[in-house]
Amino acid sequence: MRRVVILGSTGSIGEQALDVIRANPGRFQIVGLAAGTQHERVRAQADEFNVEHIAMGAEEAATLVREVPADVVLNGITGSIGLGPTIAALESGRTLALANKESLIVGGDLVTGLAAPGQIVPVDSEHSAIAQALRSGETSEIRRLVLTASGGPFRGRSREQLRDVTPAEALSHPTWNMGRVVTTNSATLINKGLEVIEAHLLFGISYGAIDVVVHPQSIVHSMVEFFDGSTIAQASPPDMKLPISLGLDWPKRIPNVGAPIDWTRATSWDFEPLDHEAFPAVELAKEVGRARKTFPAVYNAANEEAVDAFHEGRIGFTDIVDTVQEVLHSHTAPEGLTLEALAEAERWARERAQHVIAARAA
């Protein structure tokens, strides 16, 4: 029986993980739960699953991870505050089922330097798809990784057409049901940019060999192209329970986690090139990833400030990525990468973003 700690248990990833565990009572035992502010909900979860150890907030979550014996830690926290628990899980020797992409992206070499081979199991659907496809070949045989993107609610629109979209429109994702920040990031494709950086860090593939293709049906979650010309794709209906289940017990599969594709029905899958002029976030992310150091932390923090400003009506939709770019181009990274340097870079990025936002709103 796998002993599991779930961080972010009241969020979307956490709740779906509980659904998977609820359906497989003899396979998993929850030994710890952590959440942000929903005290009543996490206590109800603890009562249902007979969990003794509960933590509230990221700092308490990191302590929980270090102190409670567990086989796997599912980090479903949203945002870079998940970095501390990620480091705690790796230093404690736990398998880390990682849905909190920001902690890997912001932590960069700090995180990858702590991880033993195979210790991090990706839970993002795209990276889970790549991990599954890689069981068909060796890393040395990869020609390129192809991440799929739904295109969000604004697929096919020009940059000019994007200037006046509203927050409500940005939250109308055609495929996934997510929180405000992640849904907005999917609309700007900032999220896909973060996933490109994540793919590089997880699989060690150069940025020049990581591509993004628009696939509006969200059935093919990503692909690996090998040097012999073969492409292995992982396909399933859009449902996060599949990658979550694999994260909890990698590489074993759990029966009946999700509905399979109905191959008896006629259907078409579309693949389109990404319009980099309308959606410059992916190429900007590659620039950031190559720069390394504290640049990814600045990319993420400036974006969070810009997303809030957009939803508060202070800037327009295209100003989100433009703000991130302006902040990045004024950033000077320190030589060493430490937790203190990352915290200072995030603080600086948020402050600088607010100055940029105020100038744009004037």
Within a domain: residue 46?
yes
Do 104 and 229 fall within a single domain? no
Sequence-ordered alpha helix ranges (H) in the chain = 12-22, 39-49, 58-67, 83-91, 101-107, 109-114, 125-133, 159-162, 167-170, 180-188, 190-203, 241-249, 281-291, 295-311, 318-329, 339-361
CA 299 remoteness from chain centre: 14
Domain that includes residue 318, residue range: 293-362
- The answer to whether residue 256 sits within a structural domain is no
Q: Can you read off the two tokens belonging to residue 302? A: 């400036």
CATH code for the domain in which residue 118 is found: 3.40.50.720
Same structural domain for residues 58 and 108?
yes
Is residue 100 located within the same domain as residue 138? no
Q: Taking Cα atoms as reference points, which of 176, 329, 317, 152 lies closest to residue 243?
A: 176
Tell whether 286 is covered by a domain.
no
User: Is 354 found in the same domain as 218?
Assistant: no
Q: Is residue 323 part of a domain?
A: yes
**One digit per residue, pLDDT tens: the chain, 362 residues?**
999 999 999 999 999 999 999 999 899 999 999 999 899 999 999 999 999 999 999 999 999 999 999 999 999 998 889 999 999 999 999 999 999 999 999 999 999 999 999 999 999 999 999 999 999 999 999 999 999 999 889 999 999 999 999 999 998 877 666 678 888 999 999 999 999 999 999 999 999 999 999 999 999 999 999 999 999 999 999 999 999 999 999 999 999 998 999 999 999 999 999 999 999 999 999 999 999 999 999 999 999 999 999 999 999 999 999 999 999 999 999 988 999 999 999 999 999 999 999 998 87
Structural domain count, the chain: 3
Whole-number pLDDT of residue 345 = 97
Interatomic CA distance for residues 167 and 110, integer angstroms: 35
In this structure, are 185 and 304 located in the same domain?
A: no
pLDDT tens for 83-132 read 999 999 999 999 999 999 999 999 999 999 999 999 999 999 999 999 99
Q: Are both 271 and 334 inside the same structural domain?
A: no
What is the C-alpha to C-alpha distance for residues 252 and 322, in angstroms, rounded to an integer? 43
Question: Is position 8 within any domain?
Answer: yes
Are 119 and 169 within one domain? no
The answer to whether residue 187 is domain-embedded is yes
Backbone angles phi, psi at 34, to 5 degrees: -140, 140
Both 91 and 49 in one domain: the answer is: yes
Q: Of the candidates 11, 268, 20, 242, which has an alpha carbon nearest to the alpha carbon of residue 132?
A: 242
- How much is the mean pLDDT over the chain? 95
Six token digits for residue 241: 């329970």
Q: Could you tell me if 31 and 76 lie in one domain?
A: yes
Closest CA to 278 of 181, 162, 193, 166: 162
Q: For residues 146 and 213, give the distance between their C-alpha atoms in angstroms, rounded to a whole number.
A: 7
pLDDT value at position 175?
67
CATH number of the CATH domain containing 345: 1.10.1740.10
Cα 99 from Cα 76, distance rounded (Å): 5
Q: How far apart are the first and last CA of the chain?
A: 58
Q: Is there a domain that residue 283 lies in?
A: no
- Could you tell me if 186 and 75 lie in one domain? no
Domain co-membership, 91 together with 211 = no
- 108 in any annotated domain: yes
Q: Mind listing the pLDDT tens digit for each residue in 40-63?
A: 999 999 999 999 999 999 999 999
Are 192 and 69 members of one domain? no
